Structure 1
Amino acid sequence: MKAIRRFSVRPVLPEPLRPLSELARNLRWSWHPPTTELFRHADPEGWQRSGGDPMRLLGTIQAARLARLATDRGFLRRLGLAAGDLHDYLTEPRWYQQAAEPLPRAIAYFSPEFGITAALPQYSGGLGILAGDHLKAASDIGAPLIGVGLLYRHGYFRQSLSRDGWQQERYPVLDPDELPLELLREADGSPAEVALSLPAGRSLRARIWQAQVGRVPLLLLDSGVEENAPAERDVTDRLYGGGREQRLLQEMLLGIGGVRAVRAYCRLTGHAEPEVFHTNEGHAGFLGLERIRELMDDGAHFAAALESVRAGTVFTTHTPVPAGIDRFERELVQRHFGDDGELPGVDAARVLELGMEKPAAGEPPLFNMAVMGMRLAQRANGVSTLHGEVSRQMFAALWPGFDPADVPIESITNGVHAPTWTAPEIASHQGAFSDAKLTAIRRSLREQLVHEVRRRLRDSWRQRGASPAELGWIEHVLDPDVLTIGFARRVPSYKRLTLMLHDRERLTRLLLHPERPVQIVVAGKAHPADDSGKRLIQELVRFTDDPRVRHRVVFLPDYGMGMARRLYPGCDVWLNNPLRPLEACGTSGMKAALNGCLNLSVLDGWWDEWYEPDFGWTIPSADGSGLTAERRDAIEAAALYEALEEQVAPCFYERPGRWLEMIRQTLDRLGPKVLADRMVRDYVHTLYAPAARAHRELDGESAAELADWKARVRDQWPRVRVEHVEAQGATGDSLELGASLSLRAQINLGELAAPDVEVQAVAGRVDESDTLTEPVTVPLKPVGGADLEGRWTFEGPLALDRTGPFGYTVRVLPAHPLLASGAELGLAAAPSDAAPGTVGSGMPLR
C-alpha cells in the first residue's frame, strides 16, 4: 500500500552530539574532508546508504548508535574540533575583509540553478555548477554574497537507459524537510513568503528556504504551497520544465520574487542590503524591473530609477549563440505586466521596450531575456576571453554606433572550486611529487575509477533489464593500466558527443591497439525535449554495447556531481571537441586539470587562452572555412584520431617522464589559473567594486540628473557632426617612426557643450580596405569656446608609434562622469568619409 501523506521524523540528538546538526546543515561539509570523515566515522554503513548525505545519515542513524557516540571521547574530541573549525571559518576575517579598497557591503547573486552538492540536486549542468562554485569561493574569501534561486520539488531529471539505449527520465520527489534547508521565518514563527500578482486576480505565492553555503546564505523560492492553485503550485516543480508560460513565471518568480526574498531576509536577519545585484544569465533579468518599481514607489520617475538600478547591476552572459537565450511572445509578457499583473505603476510598454529584440526578416518580434539583462545592467561580461569576443559580436546591435570590438562587454574567465573537485590524494600532498609517488597516485585514482565504472555499469544494465547471469563481462571492463580518456557534459549538438564515432573502425583500432590501447569513459544528459540529443546518446550507447569494444568504452547514465568527483581524478586525458567558438568556457576540463588530468581539446572557451604544449594538446578546428557541417566533422574527427595516435598515446606509453612532467606543469602552472577564488576576486575588482561605487554615487538627485542629461544628449545627437579634420606635421604619405602629428578637429555639437562629449583620435594600422586594426584612442582637448554656429575646435598630438600602413580618424562620444564607458549610450559621431568599420553613428536602443 502507498502512504497518503509523507513527512520526515527527525532524530533528537543527545546533547553532546548537538553540533552534528549545525555541521550537517552548513554545506561547507561538502568541500571539507575532516567534516565528511567525521560523519563517515559516525556510522560507516549508514554513510554508504545515505549516499554521503549528512542530513539523510542523521535521519536514519539508530538511537543506540547515537548513545554510544555521545560517550565516545575520541569522537567527541573530533566533533569539538570540527565545530570549532567551522566557527572560525564563519567568523574570522578573510581576504575580502582585509582588502584595502572599499568594497560592496553585500552582493546578491541570482541564478536559475545552483550545483552545491549532490545532496541538494538543484542543477542541470555547467551553469549551475559554476554558480555553486561561485558561492563556495565567495565564502572562502569572505565575499558577502547572498545567493538567490528557486527550489525545484523534482529537481532535474534522473537518467537511465532503455534496453536499446534510449534515454529515459524520472523525477524523484524532493522533500525539503529531508534536505539541508531551513524555512526563513517571520518574527512570530510563521513562514516568510513572497507573492506575485498574476492576471485575472490570481496570485503566485512562494516560501523561502535557506541553505547555508559556508558563509553565504542561499535563498530558494518554493511555489509548492497549499495556498496556490495547482498551476501556480507547479511553477517551481521542475528545473527547465513546462511550457512557455511556466518558464516565464519561473523567471518572474526568480527575478521579482527573488528581490523580495532578499529584502525579507535582510529585514529578518539584519544582513546588510545588497549594493550590487549580479544576474547570472538572463533568467533572473526581471530583478531589475522590481528594483525600478521599488524606487518609483519612493517617488523616483522611471528614467531616474532605471539609471540607479543599472549602476548597481552586473550581467553575465554564458551563451555564445542566440538560440540559447530565453525568448517570450510579446503578448505573453504584456499580459503578465498589464494593469492586473505584476509591477503596478511600471508601464508594460516600458517593460517591453527593455526586452524587445529586432526580429529577423519574416519572424515575429520576441521579448529577449538577455537583451533585457544587458539594458538593465551598466556592466556585463562573458565567461572567457574568446566568449567575450563572441558576445561583443552577438550583442553589437545594442550599441549601434560602435564596432563589436568597442562594445562594453568584459571578459572574466570562469573558475572551479578546488576543494570540491580535487581528489584528496592530490590536494593533501605537500611539495613536489616524486616520479614514483605521482605514478602511484595516478594509477590509484585510475583504479578507483575502474571500480566505480563497473559498479555503475552493472546498475545501468540491471535497469536495462539484464539478468546477473548476463553481466559477468563487466568484471573485465576497463584496465587501471590503460590510458583513460574522459568525456562528460550536457549533450547539445554543438558539443559533438559522437564526433569520436566518425570513423568507427579507426576508433576501434585505437581502443584495441596491442601496445598502446585507449579506453574511454563517457557520460552526459540530453534535455528531455531534445530528441536529437537523445539520438546521439543512443548512437554512442549502441557502439559501447558492441562485445568487441565494450571493455574499452563505456557510457555511464545519470551524470551528476557524485559521478563527476570520481571521473575527473581517474582520467588521464579530458576530451573536449565542441564546434568552435560555441563553447563559452567549458569548466569540466578545468576540474580535470586540478587533478593532473591533461586536456585534449579544440581551442575554444578557456582552453583558447590558456593552452600551452606543457598542459596538453589541441585538436585543430576548421571553423571559418565555409565547409559543410559534415565535411567539418570529418576533418576535425581525423585531427582527433591523429592526435591520439601520434601524440597522446605514444607519450603516455613510451615517454613516461614527459607525461609526468606535463602533469606537474598542469598542477603547478595551470592549476592556479582555473581556480574559482581567482574568478571571484576578478569579479570583485573588475565589476562588483565599480558597480558599488556607481550605486553610491547615483542617489536620487544624481540619478535624475543623469537621466535628464542622457535625454538631452539623445535629443541633440543627430546634430553632432565632425565637420573638418586637419593634421599638421604631415609632409607626405610616408612618415618616420617616432614622429607626431598635431590634429585639429572642428565639431558641431548643436546645443551640447564640450563637457558633454569626448572627442577622440582613433589611430592604428590599416588593412587593404582602410579599416583600422588594433586601434588606439587619444583624447583631443577643446580650444576656446563655440563659434556663432555652434562649432567647437578640439586639438591634440598623435604619435606615430608603429611602422607600416597607418591611418586615423576622429570620433565623438557622449561623456559624463557617471557613465561606465563612452559606449554606454551606443552613440558615436565620425567624419562622413570615415574608414568603413571604424566608427559610425547611430541611435541607441537603450
Structure 2
Amino acid sequence: MLDDFIHEPRIAYFSMEIALRNEIPTYSGGLGVLAGDTVRSAADLVLPLVAVSLVSRAGYFRQAIDAQGRQVEQAAVWEPRKWAKPLDAKIAVNIEGRAVWIGAWLYVLDGYLGGRQPVLLLDTDLDENQPEDREITHYLYGGDDVYRFKQEIVLGIGGVRLLQALGFRIRQYHMNEGHSALLGLELLRRYAYPPGDLRPGELPYDLPRVRALCNFTTHTPVEAGHDRFSYALAQRMLGTTVELATLKHLAGEDSLNMTRLALNLSEYVNGVAKRHAEISNTMFPGYRVHAVTNGVPPFTWTSEPFRKLYDHYLPSWCHEPEQLVRVDCCIPDDAIWDAHLQAKQTLIEQVRARTGVALQPEVPILGFARRMTAYKRPDLLFADLERLKAVARQHAFQIVLAGKAHPHDEGGKRLIEQLHAQARALEGVVPVVYLPDYDMDIAQALVAGVDLWLNTPLRPFEASGTSGMKAAFNGVPNLSVLDGWWVEGCIEGVTGWAIGNAVGADDGDARALYDKLEQVVLPLYYGYSGDPGGWIKVMKGAISKNASYFNSHRMMRRYATEAYIR
C-alpha cells in the first residue's frame, strides 16, 4: 500500500494532533480538526501530501459530566491496528543519550472523489524501547515539559528520519504550529557544511537550503501561548544534535522558543486569518507573516440534506465551492428551509438520545461549541440572566452547548460547572442543553442543526476559528465577536451579525449581544421585521458569501501556489 504514495514528491505536513475520524481520538480541538481538514482537502484536490503526527494511543480524553455539572475525564484509548497498518521501517532518535526507536502506522484518508492521502502516526511503543520511552507517544498534550519535549523530538526529528527511511521524496515541509519545529534541526544536520568550507562566524549549515524547504503556519496570537523549553532541558535531551550557539541563534537567547525556531527556519510563514497575520507581524518584527485564512472541506461539514440540495442545483459545488455564490439566484427559498429543517430534526433527535431533553423544532436553537477556556467566554451569553430571560419572554429560543476543558485548565472546568448552574437557573424560561464529550460527530450535527451559531471570544485571542465556517455551509448564520475569520466574513445583516465592534472594550459585549438578539436577530427569525423571507435571505448570504470562500479548497490552493511551488 505504501508504494501507492512514494512514486512522486510530496509535501510533508507535520502536526502534533490530527482529527482523522471520530473513532480515532488523536485530536483535542481546533488545531487537530484543521489538520484533518487540510488532509481531507488535499485528498479531494489530489494534491500530493503526506501527513505526520503522533499515534496518541491513549488519546485525549472522553468527557463525562457529573450531577453537579463538573467535567469528569475518562480514558480514550484506541487500538491503531483496527484503523491503520503497521509499517516495517523503524528509526532511532537520541534522547538523553540513549536510542529511542520509532515506528509508524499508516492510515489512508480517502477523499470523497477517490483521492487518497497517507497519514503516518509515529509510535514509540516498541519492544526495543525502555518502558518510559514506550509511553512518549501515548498521551496527547500529557505530562510535563520533559514529556512534551520528548514528543516534539519524536515528531520533528523522528518524523523527518522516518519519511526518508520509508522512501518518501519530500519537496517541502509544512509545520502546523511550532510543535514540529525540531524537524528543522534534522534538516540542518542533513545539510551541514564540511568544516573546511566555513568562513569565520558562519553557521556550519546550509541555512538557505533548509529555509527553502520549510513552511510554517502559526496559530497563536498570544506570546505566552508558544512552546518554550529551557536550554538545560534541550541540551540534556538533544545532546550534540545542534551546537548550543546555533540553537540560541535560531530559537532565542533565553529559552528554546519553538515558534522562533520555526520562523527562522522557514521561507514562508503565514497566519490563519488577515487579522491574525497583522497581530503576528507585530509580535514578530523582522519576519514577514502572510495571511492565509483557514477554511473547511465542503463535503465533510455539509449535512446530507444540503449536500443533496447543492448536488441538484450546483453539481460542481463540492470540487469548486466558489459555485455556491450562485445560491441566491439558483436555489428556491423553500428548498433551503426544508434542508435546514431536516438537519435541525437530526440534531433534535441526537439531543434527545444523548440527554433525554426534547427540544422544539419551531423554536430557534442557538449553538455554542468549542474548547472551554476563559478567552472563549462561553459564559458571555449568561452574563445577565434576568436580561436573558426578558429576551426569551419576548422571543422564545433554546441553547445547545458543548465543549471540553483541558484536564489541567481548572478555570475552564469551572466554566463548565458554572454553565450548568446557569442552565438550572434558566429552567422553565430558556431550555439549555450541554452535550458531553464534544467530538466530530456532535460538531457535525450542531453546525448543521442549530439556527444561529454563536462565538464570543476576547479580542484579539481568536486566531481564526472554523466552526462558524462549517455552519455557513449549512445555511446557519453567525452571531459573533469581530475577531479571527469573522472580521473578514461578517457582512452585517447579510451573512450574520457582529457582537460589538472590531476594536474597543470587551466589557460591553454582553449588552451588545442581548441587544442584537432582542432587537434584530430573533425578530427577523420570527418574521416580526416585516420581511417574511428575511431570515432565509441571511441563510443564503451565509452560503453564498461565506461558504463559497471560507473553505479549505481555497486554502490549499493558496498554499500550493504561494508556499509549495517556489
Tell me the TM-score normalised to structure 1 length. 0.61
Shift of 1:444: 2.1
1:276 paired with 2:172, answer yes
C-alpha distance in 2 between matches for 1:162 and 1:303: 57
Matches within 5 A, 1:487-636: 487-511=368-392, 513=393, 516-546=395-425, 548-549=427-428, 552-613=431-492, 614-621=494-501, 623-625=503-505, 632-633=506-507, 635-636=508-509
**1:197 counterpart residue number:** 94
Of 529, 540, 556, the match for 1:664: 540
C-alpha distance in 2 between matches for 1:612 and 1:622: 13
- Answer yes or no: is the 8 Å Cα contact 2:192–2:204 preserved in 1: no
- Answer yes or no: is the 8 Å Cα contact 1:338–1:348 preserved in 2: no
- Answer yes or no: is the 8 Å Cα contact 1:136–1:213 preserved in 2: yes
- Answer yes or no: is the 8 Å Cα contact 2:453–2:479 preserved in 1: yes
Show structure 2 runs of 5+ residues with no match. Answer: 111-115, 314-329
C-alpha distance in 2 between matches for 1:538 and 1:216: 41
- Answer yes or no: is the 8 Å Cα contact 2:272–2:294 preserved in 1: yes
Q: Supply the AA of the counterpart residue of 2:84.
A: L
**1:410 counterpart residue number:** 290
C-alpha distance in 2 between matches for 1:318 and 1:198: 28
Of 274, 278, 282, the match for 1:389: 278
Of 92, 106, 119, the match for 1:218: 119
C-alpha distance in 2 between matches for 1:550 and 1:309: 61
Shift of 1:535: 0.5
| Cα deviation code 1:157-184 (max 9, x no counterpart) | 1111122111111123211112x20011
1:677 paired with 2:553, answer yes
Q: Supply the AA of the counterpart residue of 1:425.
A: P
C-alpha distance in 2 between matches for 1:551 and 1:499: 15
SS in 2 for 1:210: strand
Of 119, 137, 142, the match for 1:236: 137
C-alpha distance in 2 between matches for 1:149 and 1:436: 44
Shift of 1:510: 2.9
Shift of 1:352: 3.1
1:375 paired with 2:271, answer no
**1:435 counterpart residue number:** 333
C-alpha distance in 2 between matches for 1:348 and 1:256: 17
Shift of 1:265: 2.1
- Answer yes or no: is the 8 Å Cα contact 1:484–1:520 preserved in 2: yes
Q: Supply the AA of the counterpart residue of 1:147.
A: A
| Aligned positions, number | 531
Q: Supply the AA of the counterpart residue of 2:524.
A: C
Shift of 1:136: 0.9
SS in 2 for 1:545: helix
Matches within 5 A, 1:61-140: 105-140=9-44
Shift of 1:298: 7.8
1:452 paired with 2:362, answer no
C-alpha distance in 1 between matches for 2:478 and 2:537: 14
- Answer yes or no: is the 8 Å Cα contact 2:366–2:452 preserved in 1: yes
C-alpha distance in 1 between matches for 2:542 and 2:28: 28
- Answer yes or no: is the 8 Å Cα contact 1:156–1:239 preserved in 2: yes
SS in 2 for 1:482: coil
- Answer yes or no: is the 8 Å Cα contact 1:337–1:348 preserved in 2: no
Show structure 1 runs of 5+ residues with no match. Answer: 1-21, 27-89, 92-103, 186-191, 358-364, 400-406, 459-473, 626-631, 691-846
| Cα deviation code 1:282-340 (max 9, x no counterpart) | 0000001001111228888644422210111101100110121111112101222224x
1:251 paired with 2:140, answer no
Q: Supply the AA of the counterpart residue of 1:279.
A: M
Q: Supply the AA of the counterpart residue of 2:378.
A: L
- Answer yes or no: is the 8 Å Cα contact 1:384–1:412 preserved in 2: yes
Tell me the TM-score normalised to structure 2 length. 0.90
Matches within 5 A, 1:44-63: none
C-alpha distance in 2 between matches for 1:450 and 1:671: 24
| Cα deviation code 1:752-778 (max 9, x no counterpart) | xxxxxxxxxxxxxxxxxxxxxxxxxxx
1:424 paired with 2:320, answer no
Of 292, 298, 322, the match for 2:223: 322
- Answer yes or no: is the 8 Å Cα contact 1:523–1:559 preserved in 2: yes
C-alpha distance in 2 between matches for 1:166 and 1:107: 43
**1:648 counterpart residue number:** 521
Shift of 1:236: 1.0
Q: Supply the AA of the counterpart residue of 1:314.
A: N
What is the CA RMSD across the aligned residues, in angstroms? 2.0
**2:86 counterpart residue number:** 183
**1:366 counterpart residue number:** 255
Of 366, 371, 382, the match for 1:485: 366
C-alpha distance in 2 between matches for 1:166 and 1:622: 34
**1:637 counterpart residue number:** 510
Q: Supply the AA of the counterpart residue of 1:672.
A: S
**1:285 counterpart residue number:** 181
| Cα deviation code 1:560-602 (max 9, x no counterpart) | 1011111111011110111111111010000000000001111
C-alpha distance in 2 between matches for 1:478 and 1:510: 18
C-alpha distance in 2 between matches for 1:622 and 1:615: 16
- Answer yes or no: is the 8 Å Cα contact 2:389–2:426 preserved in 1: no
**2:323 counterpart residue number:** none
Of 305, 311, 329, the match for 2:206: 305
Q: Supply the AA of the counterpart residue of 2:99.
A: S
Matches within 5 A, 1:464-479: 474=357, 477-479=358-360
- Answer yes or no: is the 8 Å Cα contact 1:158–1:171 preserved in 2: yes
- Answer yes or no: is the 8 Å Cα contact 1:355–1:372 preserved in 2: yes
C-alpha distance in 1 between matches for 2:348 and 2:532: 21
C-alpha distance in 1 between matches for 2:430 and 2:504: 38
C-alpha distance in 2 between matches for 1:449 and 1:457: 12
1:686 paired with 2:558, answer no
C-alpha distance in 1 between matches for 2:471 and 2:81: 34
Matches within 5 A, 1:336-347: 336-339=237-240, 343=241, 346-347=242-243
SS in 1 for 2:19: coil
Larger Rg: 1 or 2? 1
C-alpha distance in 2 between matches for 1:550 and 1:509: 9
- Answer yes or no: is the 8 Å Cα contact 2:25–2:76 preserved in 1: no
- Answer yes or no: is the 8 Å Cα contact 1:115–1:129 preserved in 2: yes
C-alpha distance in 1 between matches for 2:532 and 2:560: 42
Q: Supply the AA of the counterpart residue of 1:500.
A: L
SS in 2 for 1:147: strand
